[in-house]
Chains A and B, each alone.
Chain A
Amino acid sequence: MNGGLALFVGAPLAGTAACFVLARFQGAQRAVALACSTAVTIASVVLLVHVDTTGPVTTSMGGWPEAISITFVADRLGALMLVIGNVMMLAVLVYAVAQRSSDERSPWYAPAYLALIAGVSGAFLAGDLFNLFVCFEILLMSSYVLLTLEGSDDQIRSGTTYVVLNVVESLVLVTAVALVFATTGTLSMAELPDRLAALPDGVALGLSLLLLVAFGLKAAVFPLFSWLPDSYPAAPSPVSAVFAGLLTKVGVYAILRTQTQWFPDTNRTLLLVIAAATMVVGVLGAIAQSDIKRILSFHIVSQIGYMIAGIALGGVAAVAAVVFFVIHQVPAKTSLFLVDGVVEQEQGTSALDRLSGLARRSGALAALFLLPALSLAGIPPFSGFVAKLGIVTVGLDRGEWWIVGVALVVSILTLVSMMKIWTGAFWGADDPDDRPGLLRHHPLMSAVTAFVVALTIAIAVFAGPIYGFAERTAGDLVATSAPATGGGAP
């Protein structure tokens, strides 16, 4: 497996280059993109099984010693996120190719999308802090392109906020990198836990807060979330689906690593307060909106709060709950945006006051919306129930009653806002002004949506084994202050 990890970044980047060369041949571009994405997805599943059975894998680029080379490390958490991310990106790519939106027909869509795959994969495998920053930049850069590909007034307006805020976030991250290097003399994720533990408390606190601001903006936590509900709805549905499912989770992944491995037992109260505020503000924002995409975008923020709450509680049980929450959240969120994509393509809008009675026209589509919506709200027996149960149980064990209360109330409010979409768009009488008949769309679009919804249901059905895996992952993260690299290449 030596050198193999570099392929998860290298293959999509090579595909990007190929797509630039093939800019005039859309068919070839699509073939390259689909082939690359499929290959990386299959390889990531193989990697996950390998890592789970035989331990972490490390690759040092160019054969340099680990201390000075660019390293990629796949431990359980990294490999798991890699699988989730790549499965979702492949599903959304197939959906986008089937939809043939004006965006997807642009010759720059495929290269930007492949670069996004490279960036996301790299971020989950990065073995040092600077490498993580570079992979963040790759995925951000391609997200800027995907978000503003049409160049319409609306996209430029909301894209500007998104780009400027993320650039500022990058500057904060580089500052943190510089200070971490200055204080510890290393950027390797394997060595940092020990070195950071040796620092004076005040210095470590400062570094942890800097990193929290940088990653918190990416994850859209409470005071730093305002860019998200503004920018995601402006993107075409497949793009916002993959952003919604994945990009904020990359931030959560980074917070999870830094807070549990590098700065254990710091900032707990701060994180709990941030988590509660994120949940409440997100869900209240969702209730106030009257557009499917905007409601769903505010939900992303609200759900991030649960994950931050789990990270704040700390310990194996809480981290396992967070890992399971991420596993549940990514497909659930993505599928809702995919359903919205079908609605928007047919109706030309996702504004609730212009939609009605969609369930009469396509019962299957309504079901595909309802299942993940109920799952997000945490209704048993769906995966969201298991995920929230995990976090609530830990909260009760620790005696943090108020965060449990907030989490439960927010669950109910989530259900309220989901029902707002349901009654506004799917229920009610068929609008006589609308074109009659079924919702017309490419069958592959609903097939992909059904596949992603089936994934969320499978997560509920196989919750036991998946939770077991989440606990092993959490055990790795919490027990060893030094992650992954110790195992070395098999």
Chain B
Amino acid sequence: MSVTQAGLLAVLVSVGTFLVLHRSLTRIILGIGMLGNAVNLLILTVGSTPGEVPIVGSSGADRMTDPVPQALVLTAIVIGLAVVAFLLSMAYRSWTIDGNDVVEDDLSDRRIAAEPDVTQDFGDET
């Protein structure tokens, strides 16, 4: 594992985490993109040692890098693309509905938290 890769991982994860913690869906999506790249880089960094291109016939098997992490990353990238596309469409939908893309709290939870006396409410229904 090289120091550059580890450093890049640290930057991507910290920036991604920072962005995901925001209320704006656009920033969350950017953060998820960062985190997704960080995780993909992690698979490559920890999963294999540097080596030649893993194509049969191009070099000896002992000098090739392990192709399995690359296959995993390829799949993860495709899935990440679909997820980001879906999130973007949700952000757009949210914007067409009320002009912003802020992720709101659970409405019913806030309503129940604001109720002065829960037992009173219970009595009403019986």
Contact = CB atoms under 8 A, between A and B. Distances in A.
Partners in one complex: yes
Contacts of A420: 122, 125
Given A163-B90, A353-B124, A181 B43 contact: yes
Q: Determine the main DSSP class of B at the interface with A.
A: helix
B79 interface: yes
Contact of B125 (A161, A174, A175, A352): A352
Given A134-B79, A159-B90, A179-B46, A164 B103 contact: yes
Interface string A124-158: 00000010001001000100110010010100111
Contacts of B125: 290, 352-353, 420, 423-424
Contacts of A30: none
Contacts of B25: 160, 164
Given A134-B79, A167-B32, A181 B69 contact: yes
Contact of A178 (B32, B46, B87): B46
A160 B94 contact: yes
Contacts of B94: 156-157, 160
A230 interface: yes
Q: Which one of A161, A167, A353 has the greatest number of beta carbons of chain B within 10 Å?
A: A167
B114 to A, nearest CB: 12
Contact of A156 (B32, B76, B90): B90
A108 B109 CA distance: 31
A156 B93 contact: yes
B18 to A, nearest CB: 14
A294 interface: yes
Interface residues of B, number: 40
B2 interface: no
Contacts of A429: none
Contact of B47 (A145, A161, A178, A423): A178
A182 B25 CA distance: 33
Given A181-B43, A181-B47, A424-B125, A158 B83 contact: no
A289 B112 contact: yes
Interface residues of A, number: 43
B76 A144 contact: no
A171 interface: yes
Contacts of B93: 148, 151, 156
A436 to B, nearest CB: 22
B10 interface: no
B108 interface: yes
Q: Determine the main DSSP class of A at the interface with B.
A: helix
A336 B98 CA distance: 34
B104 interface: yes
Interface in A329-362: 352-353
Interface in B49-79: 68-69, 72, 75-76, 79
A81 B105 CA distance: 34
B79 A137 contact: yes
Nearest to B111: A290
A30 to B, nearest CB: 25
Contacts of B82: 141
B72 A164 contact: no
A291 interface: yes
Interface in B1-58: 20, 25, 28, 32, 35-36, 39-40, 42-43, 46-47
Interface string A162-173: 011001101100
A289 B108 contact: yes
A461 interface: no
Nearest to B69: A181
26 contacts: A130-B72, A130-B75, A148-B93, A151-B93, A156-B94, A160-B94, A161-B103, A161-B106, A163-B90, A164-B20, A164-B28, A164-B103, A168-B32, A171-B32, A174-B43, A178-B47, A179-B46, A182-B46, A229-B106, A229-B109, A288-B118, A289-B112, A290-B121, A420-B125, A423-B125, A423-B126
Given A158-B106, A171-B35, A291-B108, 6 more contacts: A157-B104, A160-B90, A167-B87, A178-B46, A230-B108, A288-B112
